[in-house]
Structure 1
Amino acid sequence: MKRLMTLLLGIAALTACTSPQPEQHAKNELRAPAYPLVTIDPYTSAWAFQDNLYDGSVRHWTGKNFPLIGVAKVDGQTYRFMGAEELELSTIVPNSEQEDWVGKYTVAQPAEGWQTMAFDDSRWKEGKAAFGTMENEHTAKTQWGEKYIWVRRTIDLQEDMAGRNIYLDYSHDDDVIIYINGIKVVDTGNACKKHAQLKLSDEVAASLKKGKNLIAAYCYNRVGNALLDFGLMVEQENYQFFEQTAEQISVDVQAMQTYYTFACGSVNLNLTFTAPLFMDNLDLMTRPVNYLSYEVSSRDGKKHQVDLYFEASPQWAIDVAHQKSMADSFEEGDLLFLRTGSQSQEILKKRGDDVRIDWGYFYLAGKKDNTTYGIGDGKALRNGFLKDNLEAPATDGYDKLVLVCSLGETKKADGYLMLGYDDIYSIQYFGENLRPYWNRSGKETIASQFLKAKDEYQKLMKDCAAFDKKLMEDATAVGGRKYAELCALAYRQSIAAHKLVEAPNGELLFLSKENFSNGSIGTVDITYPSSPLYLLYNPELAKGLLNHIFYYSESGKWTKPFAAHDIGTYPQGNGQTYGGDMPVEESGNMLIVTAAIAAVEGNADYANRHWNTLTTWTDYLVEYGLDPENQLCTDDFAGHFAHNANLSIKAILAIASYGYLADMLGKTEVAEAYTNKAKEMAAKWMEMADDGDHYRLTFDKAGTWSQKYNLVWDKLMNWQIFPEKVAETELAYYQTKQNRYGLPLDNRETYTKTDWIMWTATMANDRTTFESFIDPVYSFMNETTDRIPMSDWVFTDSPKQRGFQARSVVGGYFIKMLEEKLHAK
């Protein structure tokens, strides 16, 4: 079917959307681990994982491809400046999502040689893939909840695979080892991935003969979820049309914008990705539309024929690449829209961590007056661009979207595209499906959002540039240039790891997703480290981080005398799904952030609405907080333990928070009683934790130490619960424990949490000490070999992540700026 509409081909450069002159700012010199491109929410979040924008595919924060290709054609020559042509793969051995397959399996340690064809597996059980925890993994068809599993899959190939490029497609949770015909091809260690793809070596490919072959796998289920699935794919030939690349001249990450500059033959190309995430305008902040602006200019003073090609894949709107999609186009006002989405449209049915959205629709939109478009087979569209003819046949459910902006013969021209997503419903909240905040009334349309974005383009470009400039200046003033550059990179990452909706009772729900840590929604120990960014720019959003937890308790759905950990697994917020409680941790977090809201707003009205709940939590901390029992906390990466000194500080300062709030509410006797209690506990803490020149990790273990980052609130709120010498003693000791890439979390391991380092650094009273903790974090981000959106859990003795990525907790980097705001009051 013909899917082409040509709109004024070959016209001169666009005149109706001349880009405004951006506010001049100082370039961010940080070589980001990954560069933010499109940042709307946890699902529509696209990044460049490499130095040059054209060195690889644009990716979702999980690492899955979000193919977005950009090519400039200058006087007939093409220069690819963005993305890479999608690897075309055909299935030869399907995984369980493509087709049912059956394997032999055992959960008991098998004899040696289990991974070879000659092994006798007649005593093994038989089951349908995937193997996993069926209550948590929607693809699992055979229940596997034990610690280990061994699986053998015999496959029948129709031809030899020698000389072909073969890829193993595999999903696992957690550690997996995979053999093909007895040859080890994968050994991940502690990791969890879905649809990872690995090109097989020539040796392994040559072992795949016509007839019977064997794929054998072992998987280790470390904690709650378990999953194992795999298949084989072969690379198709002749899929590359744009091998010549532009030359990237620069890249610069600011808070709301990422700037690129390229040389494309005889012209320069400036490319800017913009997400207008203004937290004082929630309708704008949640508008699900980002901008991709372009400006071309002649390098030799002559006119040149310029056309820009932009291609998006349906992978923006599906979870895994083999899902079938639909695509179409329409016009509204002076905009041309291209749209793609899954055929199934199972709204809010999937939940989990390494999962992408497969309901709703992705949109690519541009002005009609200089644009041609095509929908269909990607190879045909690319070849058609080369030949000035975007005719393309439809595919079997995998049509690509292409917009071509024809700038004509020009010395200088500019314009923009818009990318957006309509998820229809965003969150399931205790059984009720909630619309995104921008459409909370149900009366808006995605087209209306794009048209508003078009009308406000000129103003927003100026406003975004001005905001970026001011943020960098303000952060530099309080923490130095390196601190400021880290904050600029953290800004979009933190916001886009949340979804804002309106609760049935009208309250804001600003719900985080635990990106690559377990997928929980609205986790309190994600809220706590994230909160400084939102306390700084809009305390209503800080309330939105807490409202669901207050409701969970006050509705009677959560009946324990301490705060819940979460309300489910994203995007289903129907009740806690995390396997363990964190009583002291989460209650302390809720109380401290509530007190910080009061400090920012200058009143305790919000706390007063939840006074009975806060009282219950505080009394729990009075009884159990000083010397916590063996319970989970946010720093239990090396194992949880009793008598945690830093967790005790949190409990003490949470009790102080309650006293502070009571005082603001005129409850003088209550304020005095709880404030004195906090000071009494602090004095006992000093005796129990004292280890000479520092304070212990746990009260019962001499010779141990840990970051006491929770102390920062005593300084920020000026409570004076602990003597200043506690922080001074700790900071001096930490100086002796720093490694190249930062201060370890405690004495047990060399890894750290970068958000907590920011909090520890903010305990310092002088810039030199503060920067001594920040500089190693900057070095890590600048040098890490793990090219992913910033990780907050990293090693301090090597430039490697330990886990986590793209999490909202980097909002905690703004705590130094928050201190300035609080102390200016």
Structure 2
Amino acid sequence: MKIPGYGSILPLCFASVQAITWTATPFNPPSIPLAVRTPYLSAWLPQGSGAALNDAWPTFWTGSILGWAGFVKVDGQAYSFLGTPNVPGTTFNKAVQKSSQFTSTQSIFVLSAGPVDITVTFLSPVEATDLVKQSTPFAYMAVSAVSTNGAAHSVQVYSDISAEWVSGNNALLAKWSTSTGAILTHEVQLQSPAVFTEINDHTQYGSAFYSTTNTVGATYQTGADVTVRAQFINNGRLPNTQDTAFRAIQDNWPVFGFSHDLGSVTGASAPVVFSVGHIRDPAIKYIVAGGGTQSRSLYFWSQFQTSAALISSFLGDFSNALSRAKAFDAKVNTDATRISTDYASVVALSIRQSLGAMEVTISKNSNGSWNTADVIVFMKEISSDGNMNTVDVIFPAWPVLLYTNPLLGKYLLEGLFRYQASGLYPNKWSVHDLGSSYPNALGHNDGRDEAMPVEESGNMVIMALSYAQKTGDKSHLTQYNALLDQWTQFLITDSLIPGDQLSTDDFAGHLVNQTNLAIKGIIGIKAMSQIASLVGDTTRSNNYSTIAANYVSRWQTLSASSSGNHLTLQYGNAASWGLSYNLYADKLLKLNLFPASVYDMQTAWYKTVRQPFGVPLDTRHTYTKTDWQIWTAGIVTDTTTRDFFISSVKKWASDGLSSQPFGDWYETTNGAPEGFRARPVVGGHLALLIL
């Protein structure tokens, strides 16, 4: 990763300065996920110190506005419930938010609209074991109403999205269409799309889709935001008309609306369900052996021939999808609450964000049919830069993959293995990433990727063994054994006394003789001894095991502080120290490579250097990382210290000082956010669930 350039990322832009007047369960996070499924379907409600669903516009992960509005009419009186629309010449009230809640898959809001409460449920499915469903770039919003005074009330519901969903440049020209039938769908796209390109991290091709079931009382309209919204506010329905004056996104802001008449409501109404999504095809350009490129598509195309068929299936599956989501939420909550309630809340906020940075792809056979045997998952390194399949971003995210479906991890590594096995990458260590600008996985044939030699080589060997241990699948270990061994040879040369190089925490700068980096390299060597054993190479296994044990013994002398009560950050710098999070892999792989005394010593030391919001990453700065703190929580030897790390992360996530999607880099002295947001590394918060 790199320090963000901030070119396309907006400032903090706190959503609101109001105090929370509603019940927030389990807490009020910096930003609440609304529709988070892919790097390009990523809609959030920024919070700061607190913003109701109708106090702020939903935003893309960068902070740019995604027009998404909602109104409800109760007995002729209009109330806004989503977004902050301004509709001149109309009168409406704001519904009053009573509660917000997030789970691993859902964000649920209850708002009072006069004598009726409306429940707005945003569901971003986590379907990790179903590649068709996991690759579907859609999310749900469901709205239901219930009378709060026992009387019957006339209720109509309205929602729209704007053309802001199709570009990162609102001056560009858009076009749109509406299809009718059993499903009503608005499709929006750029008039001049540019395949495989981004502006301000938004994709510049494909289509946004907003859909709902064409039930009795459903109406639609496209047109200027003030026109369409006023039509509903004044009439409670839309005229089924289309604006065909295609224009710039910001020219009279075209929006794409639906309304539903719920009729007379007393008990809870059936939910009105909307789906929102973005489809582009092809999705990824990937370099192949020989240097050519391959266009890859999202996995769901293997089951659906048209976007309309996918949308129909997705909407029709809402009830079942919600049931599966509730079961998944309950399992995660049960598993994580065994650690602590704070931990359960941190994990719940992390899962959608982490998986929402990934896309599951397949290729085509020579005859044009889909090759579902050729699966590669691609991950965007969100906000720190736009790299693809960055090894030291996959590595901290690895726990969420082991927990939800280890196969996703195999498919993430496959693209990296396959590229390097082609011989196109010239360095003897592992590549840093598959490409510097998503969605172009073009490799680094010049060998000039961001060099993290020990970091990435160790990461790849550790993850390869971890996957095989978890699943019993040794296919990568045998197919790519030569690569794994090549990287291990480099680790043998370079990891006991690491040269002046970057670790994953590259924002902290280069450093020679890094104690924590040496840990990773030594674990990598021991992991390769296990791999050699698994593939039947006993001689090599014994040799690497002996080397690793020898390195640990020498490392203990090199890394010790003169006081003898902590590890150093850097050999020979007695006053330096840092989070020794790389020891986590020793526990994960059950290697028992490092002595118990090291773990006990570090546990005792962390208690002495705590700050109000956690333990600093190392002595160069007072900032820290959430993922590495949770990994460290997995290696400490008493629950008090473990719980301090966990509660520090939760304290930062709930301190009201950020309106960005869950950042992983922050200041331990005062809880102020640093530069990162919405990154997939929060998948590492599941580290304790897989030990």
Fold agreement, TM-score > 0.5: yes
Q: How far apart in 2 are the matches of 1:265 and 1:285?
A: 39
Q: Which residue does the alignment assign to 2:219?
A: 372
Identity of aligned residues (%): 30
Q: Which amino acid aligns with 1:329?
A: T
Q: CA deviation at 1:715?
A: 1.7
Q: CA deviation at 1:243?
A: 5.6
Q: Which residue does the alignment assign to 1:755?
A: 627
Contact 1:85/1:239 (<8 A) preserved: no
Change (3 A) 1:281 1:322: same
Question: 1:410 is matched with which residue: 259, 265, 269?
Answer: 265
Q: How far apart in 1 are the matches of 2:169 and 2:416?
A: 32
Q: CA deviation at 1:665?
A: 2.0
Q: Which amino acid aligns with 2:442?
A: N
Q: CA deviation at 1:432?
A: 2.2
- Where 2:226 maps in the other structure, the secondary structure is helix
Which consecutive segments of 4 or more residues in structure 1 shift more than 3 A?
238-243, 389-396, 503-507, 576-579
Q: Which amino acid aligns with 1:736?
A: T
- More deviation, 760-769/696-705: 760-769
Indicate whether 1:79 and 2:79 are aligned: yes
Greater C-alpha Rg: 1
Question: 1:424 is matched with which residue: 281, 291, 299?
Answer: 281
Q: Which amino acid aligns with 2:183?
A: L
Indicate whether 1:502 and 2:348 are aligned: no
Q: Which residue does the alignment assign to 2:442?
A: 574
Q: How far apart in 1 are the matches of 2:537 and 2:143?
A: 59
Q: How far apart in 2 are the matches of 1:439 and 1:743?
A: 46
Question: 1:331 is matched with which residue: 174, 180, 188?
Answer: 180
Contact 1:539/1:600 (<8 A) preserved: yes
Q: How far apart in 2 are the matches of 1:449 and 1:67?
A: 24
Q: Which residue does the alignment assign to 2:45?
A: 48
Q: CA deviation at 1:784?
A: 3.6
Q: Which amino acid aligns with 1:655?
A: I
Indicate whether 1:619 and 2:489 are aligned: yes
Contact 2:603/2:637 (<8 A) preserved: no
Contact 2:160/2:256 (<8 A) preserved: yes
Contact 1:508/1:543 (<8 A) preserved: no
Question: 1:272 is matched with which residue: 104, 114, 121?
Answer: 121
Structure 1 residues 140-539: aligned runs within 5 Å: 239=88, 241=90, 244-332=93-181, 334-348=182-196, 350-351=197-198, 354-369=200-215, 370-388=217-235, 390=238, 394-397=244-247, 398=249, 399-412=254-267, 413-415=269-271, 416-430=273-287, 431-440=293-302, 444-477=305-338, 479-503=339-363, 506-539=373-406
More helix by share: 2
Change (3 A) 1:324 1:242: farther
Q: Which amino acid aligns with 1:657?
A: A
Structure 1 residues 22-101: aligned runs within 5 Å: 28-50=25-47, 51-85=51-85
Contact 1:498/1:513 (<8 A) preserved: yes
Change (3 A) 1:240 1:555: farther
Q: How far apart in 2 are the matches of 1:284 and 1:27?
A: 30
Q: CA deviation at 1:396?
A: 4.7
Change (3 A) 1:85 1:242: farther
Q: Calculate the aligned-residue CA RMSD, in Å.
A: 1.8
Q: Which residue does the alignment assign to 1:672?
A: 542
Q: Which amino acid aligns with 2:141?
A: L
Question: 2:611 is matched with which residue: 739, 743, 748?
Answer: 739
Contact 1:562/1:616 (<8 A) preserved: yes
**TM-score normalized with structure 2 length:** 0.89
Contact 1:288/1:449 (<8 A) preserved: no
Q: How far apart in 1 are the matches of 2:130 and 2:148?
A: 40
Contact 1:48/1:58 (<8 A) preserved: yes
Q: CA deviation at 1:351?
A: 4.2
Q: Which runs of 5+ in 1 are unaligned?
A: 1-25, 87-237, 820-825
Question: 1:632 is matched with which residue: 502, 524, 533?
Answer: 502
Contact 2:117/2:147 (<8 A) preserved: yes
Q: Which amino acid aligns with 2:210?
A: L
- More deviation, 384-393/769-778: 384-393
Q: Which residue does the alignment assign to 2:3?
A: none
Q: How many residues align?
A: 638
Q: CA deviation at 1:659?
A: 0.7
Q: Which amino acid aligns with 1:446?
A: S
Q: Deviations over 1:518-568 (max 9, x none)?
A: 111110010100011101221111112211111121111112111101111
Q: Which residue does the alignment assign to 2:513?
A: 643
Q: Which residue does the alignment assign to 1:787?
A: 659
Question: 1:803 is matched with which residue: 672, 675, 678?
Answer: 675
Q: CA deviation at 1:603?
A: 4.6
Q: CA deviation at 1:242?
A: 6.3
Q: CA deviation at 1:757?
A: 0.4
Contact 2:516/2:582 (<8 A) preserved: yes
Q: CA deviation at 1:581?
A: 1.2
Q: How far apart in 2 are the matches of 1:631 and 1:306?
A: 63
- Where 1:802 maps in the other structure, the secondary structure is coil
**TM-score normalized with structure 1 length:** 0.75
Q: How far apart in 2 are the matches of 1:256 and 1:242?
A: 35
- Where 2:594 maps in the other structure, the secondary structure is coil
Q: Deviations over 1:282-328 (max 9, x none)?
A: 11111222111111000111111111110110111122112111111
Contact 2:92/2:233 (<8 A) preserved: no
Q: Which amino acid aligns with 2:389?
A: G
Q: How far apart in 2 are the matches of 1:603 and 1:371?
A: 50
- Where 1:735 maps in the other structure, the secondary structure is helix
Q: How far apart in 1 are the matches of 2:654 and 2:156?
A: 35
Q: Which residue does the alignment assign to 2:467?
A: 597
Q: How far apart in 2 are the matches of 1:275 and 1:240?
A: 36
Q: Which amino acid aligns with 1:454?
A: L
- Where 2:109 maps in the other structure, the secondary structure is strand
Contact 2:176/2:246 (<8 A) preserved: no
- Where 1:546 maps in the other structure, the secondary structure is helix
Q: Which amino acid aligns with 1:563?
A: S
